[in-house]
């Protein structure tokens, strides 16, 4: 590519990979995303770094595992020293703009400690997660307390410009339905069969799409850009505007992935998640039959807007200048495995869609490599010609797969983390606060979930792709558990040199002796000898490391 490409980085919220046609869903209609996949590269095994929004997104944006960036829960501030996508791309001359949600909370204490004013250029950038805040809307609009404080939210203002009334039409229109003439919160599962009190052309999804297109026009072609279009749906509340609310019926939903066996002496942490109110609700088929059609409607609505975006790029002659990335922060159980919400790491929750299409990239390629959310930033930095081996990046550029190459040396295991210390689950399990977490290791064939101080869970994804048989204490699989536990250990001990990259260390040729540090030398003859040996070693190492 002569000109560096724009990057349109689209994220859905709580979208399961397998709720897209191109990922195998048999009844859902997602023609635009399917087309995107056919004209680009689809990753069949992409995993999020955490199954809850905040930590997952902080991994997406920093290119680092949750245990490295430390924002382990929603609204846990992202530490002031972390770098995000915007910081990495800014170094390459890209403009990096946000339209939508980040779920990021700024580290105000850290900023104060470093004397960074909230209103300063740096302060604003940090507070906005490294993005130029074209439009930030975090969604899930607060319905508690005085509604007038929400009146100025951009989406509320926009809704009012389009004739919606009240202080917070985001809640009263977009997030509510009308049942028997009475306005009812869309958060209640009973609301799902009803259309939202908002017209489809005024939904959150429609609004963000419109804003993204306006943003593309405003940015123009002076500098290459990366727009992070971060949709709020199909995340709860599970209600869709007409006609999407009625696009699917109970016959269109997939049968649940669950087995009675899973409720017979499950792992204690799994049991505690099963006991959550939301899991009990979604274990009821009536709830699934009411909610899943609405969820599917929201996905099809999103797909329609992806179509509009693609058309907008085409009409502006930008399709060949732009890399389009589509993904999600995590999935949703929707009753599978007797669970609601996300949180636990079965495939419906942990596996995410990842489709990348762009000029010069492979078309119609499907990669089965184990890729992770943290690979996105290094990939984008690679496109932009930046330093994809920056010490703060733990992911790896996907460029080889995107060019259709087989990658010989790739990770054998993907990792995802979860901290349940704030949840009722911890009280029920009785874990101390600093061990109320688990790590999931996924290989080509197996998935092991390690719980500190407790026995693990294990699934054989070949023989049991629906993950219905926990092999956590199966004697025949002791060696598999040992192997994967060892991989988690070595992964967790990865050097976390945030200020110096492994690549830089690999190319170090300076010698201790040249810096005046003389160890174990008796005299001048020793000195000359040791210096020659150190220099030879530096040259050898450099030759082995190869060119930058």
Tell which positions 58-87 bind a second copy, by CB under 8 A.
67-68, 70-73, 76-83, 87
DSSP string, 40-66: SEEESSEE-S-SSHHHHHHHHHHTS-H
Determine if 542 is a binding residue for a second copy (CB under 8 A).
Answer: no
Determine if 539 is a binding residue for a second copy (CB under 8 A).
Answer: no
Determine if 493 is a binding residue for a second copy (CB under 8 A).
Answer: yes
C-beta of 1 vs 539, nearer to a second copy: 539
Determine if 520 is a binding residue for a second copy (CB under 8 A).
Answer: yes
CB 178 to a second copy: min, Å: 15
Q: How far is CA 307 from CA 7, 33, 210, 312, in A?
A: 17, 8, 12, 9
Binding segment for a second copy among 255-263, 275-283, 322-330, 473-481 (CB under 8 A)? Answer: 275-283
What is the C-alpha to C-alpha distance for residues 14 and 186, in angstroms, rounded to an integer? 17
Kindly report each contact of residues 175-179 with a partner whose C-beta sits within 8 Å and lies 24 or more positions away, as own/partner. 175/141, 175/143, 175/237, 175/239, 176/239, 177/239
DSSP string, 379-401: HHHHHTTS-TT-TT--S---HHH
Determine if 170 is a binding residue for a second copy (CB under 8 A).
Answer: no
CB 206 to a second copy: min, Å: 23
Residue pair 49/379 in contact by the 8 Å Cβ criterion: no
Q: Say which residues have a Cβ less than 8 Å from residue 452's Cβ, sequence separation at least 6.
A: 431, 435, 437, 438
Binding segment for a second copy among 245-253, 262-270, 459-467, 482-490 (CB under 8 A)? Answer: 482-490
DSSP E strands in 112-256: the ranges are 132-136, 176-179, 182-185, 225-234
C-beta of 399 vs 492, nearer to a second copy: 492
In the list 47, 244, 282, 380, the residue contacting a second copy (rule: CB under 8 A) is 282
17 token code pair: 């990979």
- Angle between helix 204-219 and 285-315 (nearest 10): 20
DSSP E strands in 285-380: the ranges are 322-328, 351-352, 354-357, 365-367, 371-372
In the list 340, 348, 378, 395, the residue contacting a second copy (rule: CB under 8 A) is 340
Determine if 181 is a binding residue for a second copy (CB under 8 A).
Answer: no
Determine if 408 is a binding residue for a second copy (CB under 8 A).
Answer: no
C-beta of 238 vs 326, nearer to a second copy: 238
What is the C-alpha to C-alpha distance for residues 435 and 454, in angstroms, rounded to an integer? 10
Determine if 115 is a binding residue for a second copy (CB under 8 A).
Answer: yes
CB 129 to a second copy: min, Å: 14
Binding segment for a second copy among 223-231, 298-306, 369-377, 524-532 (CB under 8 A)? Answer: 524-532
Determine if 506 is a binding residue for a second copy (CB under 8 A).
Answer: yes
CB 265 to a second copy: min, Å: 23
Determine if 122 is a binding residue for a second copy (CB under 8 A).
Answer: yes
C-beta of 4 vs 507, nearer to a second copy: 507
């Amino acid at each position: 590519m002569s000109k560096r490409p724009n990057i349109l980085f689209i994220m859905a919220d709580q979208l399961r990979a397998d709720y897209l046609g191109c990922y195998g869903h048999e009844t859902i209609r997602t023609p635009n995303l399917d087309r995107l996949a056919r004209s680009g590269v689809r990753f069949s095994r992409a995993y999020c770094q955490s199954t809850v929004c905040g930590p997952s997104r902080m991994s997406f944006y920093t290119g680092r595992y949750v245990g490295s960036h430390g924002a382990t829960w929603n609204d846990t501030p992202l530490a002031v020293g972390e770098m995000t996508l915007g910081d990495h791309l800014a170094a390459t001359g890209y403009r990096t703009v946000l339209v939508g949600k980040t779920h990021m909370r700024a580290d105000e204490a850290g900023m104060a400690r470093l004397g960074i004013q909230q209103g300063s250029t740096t302060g604003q950038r940090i507070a906005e997660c490294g993005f130029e805040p074209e439009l930030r809307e975090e969604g899930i609009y607060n319905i508690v307390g005085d509604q007038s404080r929400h009146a100025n939210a951009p989406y509320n203002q926009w809704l009012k410009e389009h004739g919606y009334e009240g202080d917070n039409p985001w809640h009263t229109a977009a997030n509510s339905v009308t049942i028997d003439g009475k306005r009812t919160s869309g958060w209640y599962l009973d609301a799902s069969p009803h259309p939202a009190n908002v017209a489809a052309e005024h939904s959150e999804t429609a609004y963000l799409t419109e804003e993204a297109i306006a943003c593309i026009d405003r940015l123009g072609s002076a500098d290459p850009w990366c727009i992070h279009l971060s949709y709020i749906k199909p995340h709860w509340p599970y209600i869709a505007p007409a006609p999407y609310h009625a696009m699917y019926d109970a016959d269109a939903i997939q049968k649940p992935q669950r087995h009675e066996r899973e409720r017979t002496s499950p792992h204690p942490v799994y049991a505690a998640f099963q006991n959550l109110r939301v899991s009990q609700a979604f274990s009821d088929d009536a709830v699934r039959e009411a909610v899943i059609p609405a969820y599917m409607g929201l996905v099809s609505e999103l797909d329609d807007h992806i179509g509009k975006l693609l058309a907008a790029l085409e009409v502006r002659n930008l399709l060949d200048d732009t890399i389009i990335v589509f993904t999600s922060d995590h999935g949703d159980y929707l009753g599978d495995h007797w669970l609601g919400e996300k949180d636990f790491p079965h495939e419906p929750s942990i596996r995410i869609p990842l489709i990348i299409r762009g000029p010069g990239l492979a078309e119609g390629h499907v990669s089965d490599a184990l890729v992770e959310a943290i690979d996105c930033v290094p990939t984008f930095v690679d496109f932009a010609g930046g330093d994809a081996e920056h010490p703060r990046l733990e992911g790896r550029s996907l460029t080889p797969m995107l060019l259709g190459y087989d990658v010989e040396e790739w990770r054998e295991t993907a990792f995802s983390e979860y901290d349940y210390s704030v949840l009722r689950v911890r009280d029920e399990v009785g874990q101390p606060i600093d061990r109320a977490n688990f790590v999931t290791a996924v290989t080509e064939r197996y998935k092991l979930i390690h719980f500190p101080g407790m026995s693990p869970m294990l699934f054989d994804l070949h023989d049991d792709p629906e993950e219905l048989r926990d092999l956590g204490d199966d004697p025949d699989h002791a060696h598999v558990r040992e192997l994967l536990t060892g991989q988690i250990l070595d992964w967790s001990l990865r050097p976390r040199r945030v200020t110096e990259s492994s690549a830089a260390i690999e190319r170090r040729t300076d010698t201790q002796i040249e810096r005046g540090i003389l160890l174990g030398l008796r005299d001048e003859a020793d000195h000359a000898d040791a210096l020659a040996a150190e220099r030879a070693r530096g040259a050898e190492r450099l030759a082995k490391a190869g060119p930058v």
